[in-house]
Amino acid sequence: MSRIVYLNGEYLPETEAKVSIFDRGFVMADAVYEVTSILDGKLIDFPGHMARLQRSLGELGIRNPLADAEYLAAHRRLIEENGITDGMIYLQISRGNGGDRDFVFPPEDTPPTVVMFGWNKPGIADNPQAQTGIRVITLPDIRWHRRDIKTVQLLFSSMAKMQAKAAGKDDAWLVEDGFVTEGSSNNAYIVKNGAIITRALSNDILHGITRAAVLRFADEAQMTVEERNFTVDEAKAADEAFITSASAFVMPVVEIDGATLGDGRPGPVARRLREIYLDESRKAAI
Ligand code: PMP
């Protein structure tokens, strides 16, 4: 069965959704995106994704072509038309068709290109990896310095992931000036003596929507949170570690550059945060 996707106001079979070769997203990676999880047919953290979308567009001077309510309606229609119970919806907005390849932006009235599509990912909340944890390698963070803008310029993140796979591991943590920035597509945390340590928000990392929710829940559960830089050595000596993202939720990390954390099994803080995050997010899903 062909999936139904959204393109500039139309709902089409995926094979009929066509974008110009001159689209700025295609030739310049001049586009931003959001990925929202769906649990039980409902959207997780949707207002947070809308707020970050608006910010990413604003930072790049791309006009936001739709109202939040229109994005919500489109997300719901894609969930409905594609029968998604547990899965994801991807949303991308580019600066539109520039009519040619040019470093100069196209005229202000050029309509942005809006694409949305979803997919089923049965059992995402019961991912067996959460029981065993993941293993990461570290790599130098050579990305540009506006990582707070969620652009589709993901080549290095993709290469980092491939390098982790080639090393027989699951993912890569990126390191700059001796400190961990974030994972290839997630935010990174360590736990030491009960304190949850994660890099503070800046242009160096993506402002994770899952990060914001998890830190809020940790605070409400009276856990200690320290937003500060941490080194790879500190991470290797941590009691536990984990990552967060809209697709992985809270995922324990049990090995960093070959060093096993604790007893090599997911730690209690990561397990508890995953449980709280899933419970609370389901309750607040729309
Ligand atoms: N950092 C990076 C580099 C990412 O790509 C992502 C996920 N897209 C995240 C962090 C996590 O963000 P979120 O919790 O909003 O999915």
- CATH of residue 259's domain is 3.20.10.10
**Same domain membership, residue 173 and residue 55:** no
Domain boundary among the residues 104, 122, 140 is at: 122
**Same domain membership, residue 117 and residue 148:** no
Total Cβ atoms within 10 A of residue 201: 15
**pLDDT score of 179:** 98
**Same domain membership, residue 275 and residue 135:** yes
**SS3 of residue 154 by DSSP:** coil
Residue nearest to atom 12 of ligand 1 (CA): 208
**pLDDT tens sequence across 193-241:** 999 999 999 999 999 999 999 999 999 999 999 999 999 999 999 999 9
Query: How many structural domains compose the chain?
Result: 2
For ligand 1, what atom is nearest to the CA of residue 157?
3
**Same domain membership, residue 278 and residue 140:** yes
Contact 70, 91 (CB under 8 A): no
- The position carrying tokens 């000036």 is 177
Contact 28, 58 (CB under 8 A): no
Report d(CA 268, CA 123) in Å as an integer.
22
Provide the CA 105 distance to its chain's centre, in angstroms. 27
Total Cβ atoms within 10 A of residue 13: 11
Q: Which of 34, 244, 245, 274 is the pocket-test mutation for ligand 1 (most atoms within 8 Å of CB)?
A: 245
Query: What residues line ligand 1, using a CB cutoff of 6 Å?
Result: 35, 182, 185-187, 206, 208-211, 244-246
**Same domain membership, residue 171 and residue 117:** no
- The position carrying tokens 């094979």 is 15
Query: What secondary structure letter does DSSP report for 223?
Result: -
Does the active-site annotation cover 236? no
For ligand 1, what atom is nearest to the CA of residue 187?
10
For ligand 1, what atom is nearest to the CA of residue 210?
14
**Same domain membership, residue 54 and residue 133:** no
> Which CATH number do you get for residue 83?
3.30.470.10
Q: Which of 35, 157, 181, 185 is the pocket-test mutation for ligand 1 (most atoms within 8 Å of CB)?
A: 185
**Same domain membership, residue 231 and residue 94:** no
**pLDDT score of 267:** 96
**Same domain membership, residue 220 and residue 159:** yes
**Same domain membership, residue 188 and residue 78:** no
Average pLDDT, the chain: 97
**SS3 of residue 38 by DSSP:** strand
**pLDDT score of 273:** 98
**Same domain membership, residue 174 and residue 92:** no
Compute the distance from residue 72 Cα to the ligand 1 centre, in Å.
20
Residue range(s) defining the domain that contains residue 64:
4-122
Phi, psi (deg, nearest 5) at residue 26: -75, -50
Residue nearest to atom 2 of ligand 1 (CA): 185
**pLDDT tens sequence across 246-258:** 999 999 999 999 9
Report d(CA 279, CA 286) in Å as an integer.
14
**pLDDT tens sequence across 263-284:** 999 999 999 999 999 999 999 9
**Same domain membership, residue 193 and residue 163:** yes
The catalytic residue among 42, 150, 165, 283 is 150
What is the pTM (predicted TM-score) of this model? 0.97
Band of pLDDT at residue 1, cut at 50, 70 and 90:
low
Domain boundary among the residues 90, 122, 154 is at: 122
Residue nearest to atom 10 of ligand 1 (CA): 186
Mean pLDDT to the nearest integer, 50-70? 98
For ligand 1, what atom is nearest to the CA of residue 147?
3
Domain boundary among the residues 73, 93, 122 is at: 122
Compute the distance from residue 100 Cα to the ligand 1 centre, in Å.
31
Band of pLDDT at residue 2, cut at 50, 70 and 90:
confident
Mean pLDDT to the nearest integer, 57-82? 98
Report d(CA 280, CA 275) in Å as an integer.
9
**Same domain membership, residue 114 and residue 139:** no
